A and B are shown apart, each in its own frame.
Chain A
């Protein structure tokens, strides 16, 4: 059973998606229920994944390996460690609200909508569980297709521009990674990620490979200055698309750094860490200011995502800053812990915020902040949730947002005071743009007649937001299980990331 658990997690949603597609728009009721059941079963399958996960080892677990392309030494090899497992759970968790949120909202080609998300879910889980680089790349690229269609078919007025920009940006990033992967395959005769991690590489090689990884992952995360596709994609995407994009797809960039860049080219990372730290701090500070002036709710959250992901890259690369300034790796794991928690937390919080915007958008069909005002008067329950998620976004203690940011800031203190000072600015900036957003949308007198006619959350919406709120609080109050799961893998990664791979 355990051997096939990851395969099941990947192929069950994909198979369900194909069935929904075949059922077609005429049997949409059946298709809708099937989608819900499939996502719930996938989520239920995460229970044994979490429960039976051995938290004392950094080795891959739930391993499955089968021949795939013998000629290229590529295997259908799956496995999870403490870094990928939480992200798989997050993926399974966040797809459920997407399906529920679409229930009677998506009127155009709903079967294809559900099918896209189900296939997407399987492919994303595939990305996180592949331990073969070619298989990883296979899922990584295939994922673009459903997202391209999701934004393009169900998106807003400028959807075509946004989706083609999204596709080409990420495609351009990925192909260089592919070139790097093939190069390493030819050096070590295997596509296994572990083999890549063990492969000695000269500094020149490492720099080239690092550049390829950087292009791929920086676009995906996205880091300043290659972030411009994200606000467009988010604004035009339907609610579900925004949720998946923010909650899961952005995490793949961070995951890529953790799985590929750090362990495979540690010396290049060590040499060029400053570049990443600077880009991250620019993202945190500059993008924070950009978020402040947004007029569109989705765009604001999109920029907030970029700033928060800046925190993730900062946390990841702090290991080198700490190593340089203190000479030891003591405390470096904290930065990575923080980055991981931040990824999970941002997945929950940004997803929830996009769902909140979706709730408003379904009623008013506008995302302009100025069209709202005093929503609390007509939608008190909704306002409660919105305020909670907004506070989580600012990193309020007790919410999941706090844990990650706190760990990263703590770690940055070990590296350099100025990193801390700049990084901590985010606490202020995030508070400014998020709370100001809440103030303008939720509080104050009723803005106009349309706001006055708003109705509060229905049971379906309450269920989604309530569940997410509970998880956000749970991770915020009791992050220990999450940290425990990640612990050994992060320690192992710190070890890999600081050991040299240059052949003697």
Chain B
């Protein structure tokens, strides 16, 4: 009796996953019996589920030190706690922004929410993964949910095409990951990341290089880093915007965790090998993302390339290969998620029934039509461009600082020059909204108060965290060390 109590108690750090798995079943049943009759009820329930989940996470999973569970497959640490809370928040905000969009396209179905929750479960599994199997489980759970979400609007040909691309390329990436993992297993005889970290300490060893190559390629695939980025603009563009909003935000947290757990932790002994491989990838990602974004006329594609550019910055944090570098990357990811929620939120809110606000030209004179939306978008754009007083500035500063600490002079120069190139296309959005006249034909934007209020808070957070960056910076450094 007491032994089983002990076991239950020791499971407390895994409460987020256990709760979420149970909640998914409940939401599915709820949809089958209630949701089909009352459209939107499942959405409200899902938000409630997320709120309760966040509360439970704070109550049970707020560990002060690293705790390993399930025979070493699962880890709970302060980092996982922070990432999971961010995951709850990002998914909740993304779903909140999406509701009107889904209703207008008649895809406001309970399954959408179920898929979002399973994706979140995949994210959580990845965040807490401490063995190669758990990593793979998380990757697949997240990816399969995401493929289905991209194809959710089943009457849309372009969405089906995007989902197909996403699936095929994602499967290749998974294959790469598995192959790399199998070599690691062959070299070390263990799936446990802690033990792999101890066993793999021979940089330059051919087997190690082979394994690291496949794993780095898989991570780059998942992040959408150049030259494995081709799926990303097509998926962002083809998917319904609400899905783009979803897959553009919370999964990045998971992929950060993937890179951190696999590369920075599991392959810590051969850091030199993977940072060397990651460096050209990061530079290419930064350059291609920023330069190609300039040529886009579709805002979803532009933001997709902008995402690629940000991935370049995040990877630069890993290239530094130090705790400060990882902390900088963590900060960058969290800031990126916050800002991207807002930018795609604006795109979702500007889209109406029968009208996708997916062309840059659709934002002409947005200021006249909707000053609040334009102001929010302008703040978010300045933030992404890395201009103080917005939070994006500190994210770039931290990355540059981490690169300086490791004496990467040329990476610093490339990073700062590319942030200027990036500024150009963000400024162009502001130019369209504020300096150009609005065409008469554009429909009004979404007016529901709750969503607009949330977006306002989102944009305000970008400013407040920019003026007072200390708490979040401290948090990121604290949980990495």
Asked whether B73 is an interface residue with its Cβ less than 8 Å from the other chain, the reply is no
Query: Contact: B473 with A72, CB < 8 Å?
Result: yes
Most chain-B Cβ atoms within 10 A of its Cβ — which of A70, A144, A149, A167? A167
- Contact check, A175 vs B474: say whether CB atoms are below 8 A apart: no
Nearest chain B residue, comparing its CB with the CB of A139: B388
A175 touches B382 (CB 8 A): no
* Residue A199 CB within 8 A of the other chain: no
Tell whether B416 is near chain A: CB-to-CB under 8 Å. yes
Q: Which B residue sits closest to A187, measured CB to CB?
A: B404
Instruction: Tell whether A413 is near chain B: CB-to-CB under 8 Å.
Output: no
Q: In this assembly, does B479 line the interface, its C-beta being within 8 Å of a C-beta of chain A?
A: no
Verify A148–B427 contact, CB threshold 8 A: yes
- Partner pick for A179 among B393, B404, B405, B477, CB 8 A cutoff: B404
Scoring A residues 130 to 141 as 1 if CB is less than 8 Å from chain B, else 0, what string do you get?
000000011101
Q: A142-B388, A164-B427 are in contact. Are A171 and B420 (CB under 8 A)?
A: yes
B431 touches A71 (CB 8 A): no
B397 at the interface (CB under 8 A from A): yes
- What chain B residues lie within 8 Å of A159 (beta carbons)? 435
Q: Kindly list chain B residues whose C-beta atoms are within 8 Å of the C-beta of A71.
A: 470, 473-474, 477
- When each residue 362-387 of chain B gets 1 if its CB lies under 8 Å from chain A and 0 otherwise, what string results? 00000000000000000000100001
CB-CB under 8 A for A137 and B388, given A167-B423, A182-B401: yes
Write out, one digit per residue, whether chain A residues 171-205 have a CB within 8 A of any chain B CB (1) or not (0): 11001101100110110000000000000000000
> Contact string, A66-101, partner B, CB cutoff 8 A, digits 1/0?
011111100000000000000000000000000000
Inter-subunit contact B420/A178 (CB<8 Å): no
A139 to B473 Cα, complex, angstroms? 20
A145 to B397 CA separation, bound complex (whole angstroms): 18
Interface pair B416/A176, CB less than 8 Å apart: yes
| A68 proximity list for chain B (CB < 8 A) | 468, 470
A175's partner among B420, B428, B430 (CB-CB below 8 A) is: B420
Contact between chains at B388 and A172 (CB < 8 Å): no
How far apart are the CA atoms of A167 and B422 in the complex, in Å?
Answer: 12
Question: Which residue of the partner chain B has the closest CB to A134?
Answer: B397
Complexed CA–CA distance, A70 and B431 (Å)? 36
Task: Tell me whether A323 is interfacial, beta carbon within 8 Å.
Answer: no
B469 within 8 Å of A by Cβ? yes
Chain B: interface size category: 20 to 34
- Residues from chain B with a CB closer than 8 A to the CB of A13 are none
CB of A347 within 8 A of chain B?
Answer: no
Instruction: Tell whether, in the assembled complex, residue B431 and residue A152 are in contact, meaning their CB atoms are under 8 Å apart.
Output: yes
Interface of chain A, main secondary structure: helix
Q: Is A464 an interface residue (CB 8 A)?
A: no
Which of B389, B420, B430, B468 contacts A142 (CB under 8 A)? Answer: B389
Output the nearest chain B residue to A154 by Cβ-Cβ distance.
B435
Bound-complex Cα distance A167 to B413 (A): 19
Closest to A183 in B: B404
For residue B157, give the distance in angstroms from its CB to the closest CB of chain A.
37
Residues of chain A within 8 A (CB-CB) of B382 are 145
Do B416 and A178 have beta carbons less than 8 Å apart? yes
> Known: A176-B416, A179-B404, A182-B404. Is A168-B424 also a contact (CB below 8 A)?
yes
| A72 shortest CB reach to chain B, Å | 7
B419 at the interface (CB under 8 A from A): yes
A149 with B416, Cβ < 8 A, contacts A71-B477, A168-B423 known: no
How far in angstroms is the closest Cβ of chain B from A249? 16
**Total chain A interface residues with beta-carbon distance under 8 A:** 33
Q: A153 near B: Cβ within 8 Å? A: yes
Q: Nearest A residue to B400 by beta-carbon distance?
A: A182
- Complex Cα spacing A163 to B428, Å: 11
Q: How does the 8 Å CB contact mask read for A48-78 relative to B, with 1 for contact and 0 for none?
A: 0000000000000000000111111000000
Which residues of chain B are near A70, meaning CB under 8 Å? 470, 474
Contact B400 A152 (CB under 8 A): no
Complex interface: chain B residues within 8 A of A69 (CB): 469-470, 473
A160 within 8 A of partner (CB): yes
* With contact pairs A149-B434, A182-B404 given, residues A175 and B419 touching in the complex (Cβ less than 8 Å): yes
Contact indicator per residue, chain B 417-451, by CB within 8 Å of chain A (1) or not (0): 10110011001101100110000000000000000
Tell me the nearest residue of chain A to B416, going by C-beta. A175
Contact B420 A160, beta carbon cutoff 8 Å? no
Could you tell me the distance between the alpha carbons of A176 and B389 in the complex, rounded to whole angstroms? 18
Determine if A153 and B435 form an interchain contact, defined as CB atoms under 8 angstroms apart.
yes
Pair B387/A179 contact, Cβ less than 8 Å: no
B58 within 8 A of A: no
- Say yes or no: A152 contacts B469, CB within 8 Å: no
Asked if B28 lies at the interface with its beta carbon under 8 angstroms from chain A, I say no
Query: For window 324-344 of chain B, which residues contact chain A by CB distance below 8 Å?
Result: none
The residue from B401, B416, B424, B468 contacting A186, defined by CB atoms under 8 A apart? B401
- Closest residue of B by beta carbon distance from A169: B420
Q: How far is the CA of A144 from the CA of B387 in the complex (A)?
A: 9
**B332 → A minimal CB distance (Å):** 15
Q: Tell me how far the C-beta of B459 lies from the nearest C-beta in chain A, rounded to whole angstroms.
A: 14
Q: Which residues of B contact A141 (CB under 8 A)?
A: 387-388, 393
Complex CA distance for A182 and B405, rounded to whole angstroms: 9
Least Cβ distance of A369 to chain B in Å? 28
- From A152, A171, A175, B435 is in contact (CB under 8 Å) with A152
Contacts of B133 in A (CB 8 A): none
Asked if B420 contacts A168 (CB within 8 A), the reply is yes
For the complex, give the distance between the alpha carbons of A185 and B477 in Å: 18
Closest chain-A Cβ to B387's Cβ sits at a distance in Å of 6
Q: Is B420 touching A182 in the complex (CB atoms < 8 A)?
A: no
A-B pairs with the 7 shortest C-beta distances? A175-B416, A138-B388, A69-B470, A172-B420, A152-B435, A141-B388, A142-B388
> What 18 additional pairs, Cβ within 8 angstroms, besides A70-B474, A71-B470, A141-B393?
A71-B473, A137-B388, A141-B387, A141-B388, A142-B387, A142-B388, A142-B389, A152-B434, A163-B435, A164-B424, A168-B427, A172-B420, A175-B419, A178-B400, A178-B416, A179-B404, A179-B413, A183-B404
Residue numbers of A with Cβ under 8 A of B are: 67-72, 137-139, 141-142, 144-145, 148-149, 152-153, 159-160, 163-164, 167-168, 171-172, 175-176, 178-179, 182-183, 185-186
| Interchain Cβ contacts under 8 Å between A and B, 27 examples | A68-B470, A69-B469, A69-B473, A137-B388, A138-B388, A138-B393, A141-B387, A142-B389, A144-B387, A145-B382, A145-B387, A148-B430, A152-B431, A160-B431, A164-B424, A164-B427, A167-B423, A167-B427, A168-B420, A168-B424, A171-B420, A172-B417, A175-B416, A175-B420, A178-B416, A185-B401, A186-B401
Residues of B within 8 A of A (CB): 382, 387-389, 393, 397, 400-401, 404-405, 412-413, 416-417, 419-420, 423-424, 427-428, 430-431, 434-435, 468-470, 473-474, 477
